Structures are given as C-alpha cells and as structure tokens.
Amino acid sequence: MISVTLARRYARALLNLSQRQKELDRTQDELAGIAALFGREPRARRYFESPNISRDEKVEFLEKRLKPRLGRPVYGLLQLLLRRRRLDHLLSIAGEFEKLAERAQGITRAVIRTAVPITDGQASTLTHSLARRTGLKILLTREVDAALLGGAIVSLDHQVFDGTLATELWRIRRRLLATRVQGRG
C-alpha cells in the first residue's frame, strides 16, 4: 500500500499545478469523479492494475476516453501514475488532494460524536464557534455513538476535544485520589 507521505507528495504537486493554472475547483471535481469511478467500478480498477493489458493499450484508453473530458492537471497525473505503475494508488492520492485543496480554500473538517443526535441549532452553534477559533470554514459531520454515556467528542484536524461524561468522571476521580484527606489527631 502506498504511504501517506507519497500520496501527499503527488497530491501537493497536483494542488500546486492546479493553483498555478487557476483550475483548482475543476481539478478537485475531476479527481473526485475519477476516484469515485475507481471506487465503485472494480472492472475499471482491475483494467489498469492488470499486467496482462499492455501499457500502450492503457495509454490509448486514457487518450480516447478520458483526455477529452479532463483538464491537463488530472490527465497529466493519470499519465504519470500509469507510467510509474502507480495508478492503483489513485484513491489514496485523491483523498490527500481533497484535504489539501480544502485547506487551500480555507476549509477544514470536524466530527462530533454524541450519545444522541444533536439538533441543527446545536450543530450550527458548534460550527460557528469552531470557525471563530480556527479562522476557517468548518464542514461538520455528526455521528451518534451509543457507547457514550453523555457529552461529546469533537475531532478537528489532529486535535480531539473530549467532553464526554466518562472522561469528566475520570478527571474527578483523579483529583479526589490526588487530594490528601487530613485525619483527626
């Protein structure tokens, strides 16, 4: 499996190219579409991964079927990956590109996990609060986790804010155990 570092390297190069050519939105849409095709159509993926099909046939397929529909950045990436025999790693690269492109557009993703569903108003309040804190537009994903007793866990970038009832009870227990009780003399 391709390392995240290598996928990020390809994604960063594609991001820089698409920004220079002022085609970031188009590149983002096209790459997401190609990745979705590879994800839902195993035949398409197997075609490009198959050692029984010559590279020339694959190049011809790209030329005839995809080149007319794609901008230069995405078509160039597909050619490069095919040449280096890494087209099977397209999904990882597309995922990394999506993250980098969103960051370049001032967008970040957050996930909130709660024991019960939160209301639209609560989600809106949280989104605004996180946006003020980060200075970025927040795309919030809501998840319900029945294993939680109460409270919420918010994941934002590489930070986790744990406001669950279980964590708060653990903190209280730790403070009580750390406090010495004075005995009577």
* 83 to 2, 48, 70: CA distances (angstroms): 16, 11, 18
pTM, rounded to two decimals = 0.72
Domain range for 164 is: 106-178
Q: How far apart are CA 44 and CA 48, in angstroms?
A: 7
Same domain, 98 and 8: yes
Q: 41-84 pLDDT, tens per residue?
A: 888 888 888 888 888 998 898 888 888 889 999 999 999 998 89
Alpha carbon distance 124, 44 (integer Å): 40
Average pLDDT over residues 136-155: 93
> Which residues touch 118 (CB under 8 Å, ≥6 apart)?
112, 126, 142, 152
Identify whether residues 14 and 95 lie together within a single domain.
yes
Quote the pLDDT of residue 185.
47
Q: Residue 18: exposed, middle, or buried by beta-carbon count in 10 A (0-12, 13-18, 19+)?
A: buried
Q: Element (H or E) spanning 147, and its range? A: none
Instruction: Write the pLDDT tens digit of every residue in 101-140.
Output: 999 999 999 999 999 999 999 999 999 999 999 999 999 9
**Ramachandran area for residue 157 (φ above 0: left; ψ -120 to 50: alpha; else beta):** left
Residue % of the chain over a pLDDT of 90: 61
Mean confidence (pLDDT) of the chain? 89
Are 24 and 85 contained in the same domain? yes
Say whether both 62 and 147 belong to one domain. Answer: no
Query: Could you tell me if 73 and 101 are in contact, meaning their C-beta atoms sit under 8 angstroms apart?
Result: no
Return the CA Rg of the chain: 23
What residue type is assigned to position 115 of the chain? A
Residues 95 and 117 in one domain: no
| 65 and 38 belong to one structural domain | yes
Residue 61 lies in a domain: yes
The pair of structure tokens assigned to 4 is: 């995240």
Q: Return the exposure string of 69-93: e unless at least 16 CB atoms fall within 10 Å of the residue's CB, then b.
A: ebbebbbebbbebbeeebbebbbbb
Higher pLDDT, 183 or 116: 116
Of 60, 78, 103, which closes a domain? 103
Residue 13, pLDDT > 90, answer: yes
Residue 72 belongs to domain with CATH number: 1.10.520.20
Residue 1 confidence (pLDDT): 47
Does residue 162 lie within any of the structural domains? yes
Please tell me the total number of residues recorded for the chain in this structure. 185
86 shares its domain with 130: no
